[in-house]
Amino acid sequence: MADIKYQVGVLTLSDKGSKGERIDESGQILSGMVAELGHVSRYQVIADDLDKITMVLESWVDDLHLDLILTTGGTGLSPRDVTPQATAAVLDYEIPGMAEAMRAASLQKTSRAMLSRALAGVRQQSLIVNLPGSPKAVKENFEVLLPVLPHALAKLQGDPADCAVE
């Protein structure tokens, strides 16, 4: 299944970005980094609004059947940071190891990483991962996940191969 190209969605959560007051660097970085995994078939910048985020995530999974959805932004502690709540509302189950790995790697660079509330999990056969909003952090965090994403996506697609690494 190594040659499969997956359908990817990149969703940026930013009040300023949604109003055109800020350029979405983080979403653009992610769009470039997923090229080896697949095609970015959906890219959108929306405001930090719980209902809107939930609606987009549900639609991208239920209607468009995207394989991977990467969110950027809204994972901190401010009152408008609601990405984890919206994600939790749509997930069938979490994959805590992915979020833990991102935080562990980030803690090597900054103590503020422990403030991240990012989640990763599955809805139907789609993997949804929350990433930070800063360009530097989104790149660093995605690099942590990149080695396991092909295997994770293959498993979600029904790959029967054993998971043991040889």
Please write the tens of the pLDDT for every residue from 119-149.
Answer: 999 999 999 999 999 999 999 999 999 999 9
Return all residues near 136 (Cβ < 8 A) that are at least 6 apart: none
C-alpha torsion sign, points 24, 139, 133, 120: positive
Reading the block at residue 5, the tokens are: 């190209």
The candidate with the shortest Cα–Cα distance to 92, out of 119, 131, 70, is 119
The DSSP result for 34-92, as a single string, is GGGTEEEEEEEEE-S-HHHHHHHHHHHHHTT--SEEEEES--SSSTT--HHHHHHHH-S
Percent of the chain residues topping a pLDDT of 90: 91
Question: Hey, what domains does the chain have and what are their CATH numbers?
Answer: 6-156 (3.40.980.10)
Q: What is the pTM of this model?
A: 0.95
Q: What pLDDT shows up at residue 160?
A: 85
Per-residue confidence band for 163, with pLDDT thresholds at 50, 70 and 90: confident
Q: What pLDDT shows up at residue 161?
A: 81
Residue 16 has pLDDT above 80, yes or no: yes
Whether 8 and 67 have beta carbons less than 8 Å apart is answered as yes
- Of 26-35, 87-96, 157-166, which gets the smallest average pLDDT? 157-166
What is the chain's mean pLDDT, rounded?
Answer: 94
Q: What pLDDT shows up at residue 134?
A: 95
The mean pLDDT value for 10-22 works out to 94
CA atoms of 131 and 88, how far apart (whole Å): 14
Angle in degrees, CA 3, 32, 41, rounded to 5: 65
The residue with greater pLDDT, 36 or 33, is 33
Q: What pLDDT shows up at residue 37?
A: 93
Residue with tokens 């350029």: 23
Helix axes 96-107, 135-145, angle to 10 degrees: 130
